[in-house]
Amino acid sequence: MSYKKRKLKKSRLGQLKYRLGQVKYALLKRAAVLLQKISRLFQIRFQKERVLMLNLPKALEVLSRYDRLTDNPDISKISEAISAQLNKEGLLRLCVFICPKFNTQALFSPKPENYMPATVNTLGLFEDRVAKVTALRKDLLRSGLLTELNLILGDNDAEEYIFPFMNSIDVHRNQYRERQSMYRRAFEERCRDLFGKNCVVWSLAELAVTKDKTKPNISSEALSKELKFFGWLFSVEGPYKGKLSFSRDTLIEMATQKYQLYGAQGKFLEMLGGILLQTEGPGVWLERTQMLRCTGSLAIPAIYPWIRQEEIADF
Q: How many CB atoms lie within 10 A of CB 99?
A: 13
Sheet architecture: strand order including 147-153: 199-203, 147-153, 92-98, 275-277, 302-303
Lowest-confidence range among 42-51, 112-121, 173-182?
42-51
Write out pLDDT tens, residues 15-67: 544 454 444 444 444 444 444 444 454 454 445 445 446 788 999 999 999 99
pLDDT of residue 306: 80
Strand, helix or coil for residue 303:
strand
In terms of pTM, does the model score above 0.85? no
Q: Where are the domains of the chain?
A: 1-53, 55-314
Q: How many CB atoms lie within 10 A of CB 26?
A: 10
Write out pLDDT tens, residues 206-255: 999 999 999 999 999 999 999 999 999 999 999 999 999 999 999 999 99
Q: What is the CATH number of domain 55-314?
A: 3.40.50
Write out pLDDT tens, residues 268-298: 999 999 999 998 766 677 888 999 999 999 9
Confidence bin at 105 (pLDDT 50/70/90): very high
